[in-house]
Amino acid sequence: MKRNININHSFAHLRNLPIEISFEQVQQWVEKAPPKPLIANGWLSYWLSKLNHWKSSKN
Amino acid sequence: MKHIQQTPSAQAFLDWYQPIHAPFVRYCSSKSLNSLSTEDLVQEALLATLSAFDAIKDKEKLLSYMIGIVNNIIKNHLRKKKFQGQWNEERMATIAAKVTDPEIALDIQYLYQCIQKLSPKAQEAILLFEISGFSLKEVSKIQQTSVAAVKTRLHRARKELKRLVAQDNRKRSLSERMAIYASLLF
C-alpha cells in the first residue's frame, strides 16, 4: 500500500506535541541529585597506602 | 510554588538549561522510541551533564556534550538488546500513545523508519532541527560545524527523505522479513 506522507506536516505535528516532562520535574531531579564526591587530593589515598605499607614493614 | 534550595552550580545549570528544555525533551523522546522511557533518558542525561557542569569551562560546548550523552545512552541500550528490527510493535505503540489520530501515527511511524535510513549526521540534524525544534545555530554547535554546513545537510536529508517516502511497495529484504516474523512470534 502506498501512503502519501506529507513530510513537513508530520514534522510540524511532532514539533507541536506536548512535552512529557515539565521543567519543575527537572528542578526536582537537580535538587535531589546526589552530591559529587569531594576529591580534594587524588594522591592522598596513594600516600596513605604507602604509609600503611611502611608502618607494617617496620613492625 | 515550593522554593527549591539549590547549590550555586545547580542553579547555574538550571539557568543554562531552561531555554533548551522543550527541544531537549523532544529530542530525547524521538530517540527513545523503541528502547527506554523518555523520562529515564532525560534524567540520566541531565544528571550526567550536571556532574560535569563545573568541569566544562566553555559552556558553548555543553549542549553538544549533553546530546552526545543521550546518543551514547541510546547506543549502549540498543547494544544490550538482543534483537533490533525495523518493524517494531513497541515503537508503534509509543507513537500511537502520543498521537491521537491513528493515520498520523502510521505516517509518523513510517517517517521514522525512513529517517533511520539516513546517514547518522543527517539523521541527527533532522531530529534536532525538524522534530526537536533546535535553531540552526544550536544544531551547528551540537554538530560542531558551520550553520551553512547544517543547512546543506538538512537540504540533502529532506531530499533523501522525500525519495525514501516515495519509494514504497518494494520487496522487503530477508532481514526485514525476519524482523516482522519475529515481532509477530514474540
Averaged pLDDT for residues A34-41? 60
Quickly state the pLDDT bin for B154 (edges 50, 70, 90): very high
In chain B, which residues have their Cβ closer than 8 Å to the Cβ of A13?
Answer: 99, 104, 108
CA distances to B30, B52, B55, B76 from B126, in Å: 11, 27, 30, 22
Confidence of residue B4 (pLDDT cuts 50, 70, 90): very low
Instruction: Pick A10's closest partner by Cβ from B1, B22, B111.
Output: B111
Q: Using alpha carbons, select from B76, B72, B65, B74 the residue that is nearest to residue B20.
A: B65
Nearest C-alpha in A relative to B166: A4
Model confidence over A10-36: pLDDT tens digits?
Answer: 898 888 888 889 999 999 999 888 776
Task: Report which of A25, A14, A9, A7 is spatially closest to residue B98, judged by C-alpha positions.
Answer: A14
ipTM surpasses cut 0.90: no
B58-88: burial string, b at 16+ Cβ within 10 Å, e else? eeeebbebbbebbeebbeebeeeeeeebbbb
Tell me: pLDDT of B119 over 60.
yes
Q: Write out the three cell numbers for B138.
A: 544550536
Whether pLDDT at B77 is above 60: yes
Cα torsion B56, B58, B63, B64: sign: negative
pLDDT mean over B35-55: 87
Q: Do B107 and A3 touch (CB under 8 A)?
A: yes
pLDDT of residue B58: 83
Which of B27, B104, B158 is the best residue to mutate to test the A interface, defined by the most A CB atoms within 10 Å of its own CB?
B104
Q: B123-136: per-residue pLDDT in tens?
A: 999 999 999 999 99
Say what percent of chain B tops pLDDT 70: 77
Who wins on pLDDT, B152 or B107?
A: B152
Residue A5's Cβ-count burial label (10 Å; 0-12, 13-18, 19+) is buried
Exposure of A43 in the CB half-sphere (CA atoms within 13 A): 1
Instruction: Write down the mean pLDDT value for chain B.
Output: 82
